[in-house]
Amino acid sequence: MPAEETNQDDLVEQARRVRANAHAPYSGFKVGAAIRAASGQVYVGCNVENVAYPEGTCAEAGAISAMVAAGETGLTDVAVVASGPEPVTPCGGCRQKLAEFGRGETNITMATMDGQFRTATLSELLPGAFGAGHMAES
């Protein structure tokens, strides 16, 4: 399906644009992410790899950092863009990071550079998420 059919076109476009700045010399896999915060403001991030491989960070983590640094702690929509045979889904760690600031119904749009996309809610991507309630005294 072409990307113009998603109702998150603006977010997909911003994720696509920031992807160009990804630092991914080791995997060669550039990812861009855009987050719409509760205020409506959009924050973007790209993956930043490191020669010490485990030190690399995902695009979603970068966008979350930008949002929190700007003083926001709630997000409503997320877009992730990469180039591949099908839309890339946020990795497991990023799903948990998004859950820190999103809700079960938070909308995640995953798109390829050639215009395919799929959408899912955060609870579909991370069923049974670990949350603060699990740490309540029993």
Among 6, 8, 14, 47, binds ligand THU (CB under 6 A): 47
CB-based contact 79:98 (threshold 8 Å): no
In sequence order, the 6+-apart residues with CB closer than 8 A to the CB of 137 are: none
Q: Which of 60, 100, 105, 137 is catalytic?
A: 60
Q: Is residue 29 a contact point for ligand THU (CB under 6 A)? A: yes
Among 58, 75, 108, 126, binds ligand THU (CB under 6 A): 58
Q: What whole-number distance in Å separates Cα of residue 70 and Cα of residue 66?
A: 6
Shortest CB 71 distance to ligand THU, Å: 24
| C-beta of 29 vs 130, nearer to ligand THU | 29
Fill in the amino acid letter for 98.
L
| C-beta of 71 vs 85, nearer to ligand THU | 85
DSSP characters over 93-105 = HHHHHHHHHS-TT
| C-beta of 3 vs 58, nearer to ligand THU | 58
Q: Count the Cβ atoms, other than its own, within 10 Å of residue 135.
A: 8
CB-based contact 60:90 (threshold 8 Å): yes
**Catalytic (active site) residue 5:** no
Ranges within 64-103 binding ligand THU (CB under 6 A): 88, 90-91, 94
Closest to 33 in 3D by CA, of 6, 9, 7, 60: 60
The residues binding ligand THU (CB under 6 A) are 24, 27, 29, 31, 47, 49, 56, 58-60, 88, 90-91, 94
Active site (catalytic) residues? 60
